[in-house]
Copies of this chain bind each other. A is one copy, B any other.
Amino acid sequence: MSSKMKFCLNIPTRLIFGAGELNKLSTLPLPGKKALIVISSGTSMKRYGYLDRLQAQLAKAGIDSVTFDKILPNPIVAHVNEGAERCVAEQCDFVIGMGGGSSIDSAKAIAIVAANGGTFWDYVHCGTGGCKPVSRALPIVAIPTTAGTGTEVDLWGVVTNETTQEKVGFGSPHIYPALAIVDPELMLTVPPLLTAYQGFDAFFHAAEGYIGKAHTPISDLYALEATRLLYKYLPVAVNDGKNLWGRIKVAWASTLAGMVESTSSCIGQHALEHAMSAYYPELPHGAGLIALSHTYFKTFKNDSMKRYMKMTEKMTQAKSARPSDFLDALERMKRQCGVDDIKLSQWGIQPSDFERFADNAIATGQAMLDLDP
């Protein structure tokens, strides 16, 4: 137990949290003079006016910007390399990721390649990656418009190599965002099902970080608060998307869960889901996790009994007598969010895929598997 009282805490990101806080951007210290804005290939950043508002804030602060709008929901290496080329060609000195985790993670990857040269795969340290050291990155600003990944306060990103079918995490202290603006007003337009998928992603960052071997006293504090808030407020945000208070609580929980990723770690469930999404890029990350979760958490329930029960007690605010109470609470939360009936077959996944999923998870995510309870 004493060994768990040795840990490091270092999240240098300046987090600005609150409804409407995007309107403050022009008054905040920004880490450069010309920004590459990285957004998805979808229409929502433009349709809802978020991109216009960001550009107006930058202009007000006297910051030039160019926009790169090609990122896919499961972002791919080709777009990272293309974005980095654009960044260098346009002489941008910082990168802004606005949108879901895909856009912010791509911004992080672009910040690495633009600062170090070469191509993205050179800097990946698992699977078939080139394992080059990441000695620097352009400064990053993260503006999430979904509540799920927590990437705005962590040192991780996830990108898929579409050629080798590897969905890998990459990490470096140089890709902590310099500035993160978490404005829950930007999340009011996320549809119910995506709200649920993303919220469960955050929930599992916290729950995995809490039961996994890398837990620390500070990650425990963040994880228990994140799971408590999500259990209570994710159903509110899913079923009543315009409820700002619910969105605020879920956004804060998601950021807390990101801080869990920076002070503990995701474990095997995430490694397995990455393998699934690598072969089935249409599978939403959160949906894959939800589909895995009952079996996954059942597998380890007797290896971390006290933690299962403590987490359940924080979530349900009631005494827990056995670790399987967590499984019951999880199923209840899924039902309340309308995601208790997810079938992987919806995305074409077959039992015959399972072996290659496992092989892929071992090849690209061994470090996470090693942290299972």
Contacts and interface: CB of A to CB of B under 8 A. Distances in A.
A252 B217 contact: yes
Interface string A1-33: 010011111111111111111000000000000
A143 to B, nearest CB: 15
A54 interface: no
A372 interface: no
A221 interface: yes
Interface string A238-264: 000000110010001000000000000
Prevailing SS type, chain A contact patch: mixed
Q: How many copies does the complex hold?
A: 2
A225 interface: yes
A26 to B, nearest CB: 16
A8 B17 contact: yes
B217 A221 contact: no
Contacts of A222: 221
Given A10-B14, A10-B15, A5 B225 contact: no
Contact of A13 (B6, B10, B17, B217): B10
Nearest to A179: B10
Contacts of A248: 2, 5
Interface string A199-240: 000000000000000000100011001000000000000000
Nearest to A176: B12
A101 to B, nearest CB: 20
A7 B18 contact: yes
Interface of A: 2, 5-21, 217, 221-222, 225, 244-245, 248, 252
8 contacts: A2-B19, A6-B18, A6-B20, A8-B17, A9-B15, A10-B15, A12-B12, A221-B225
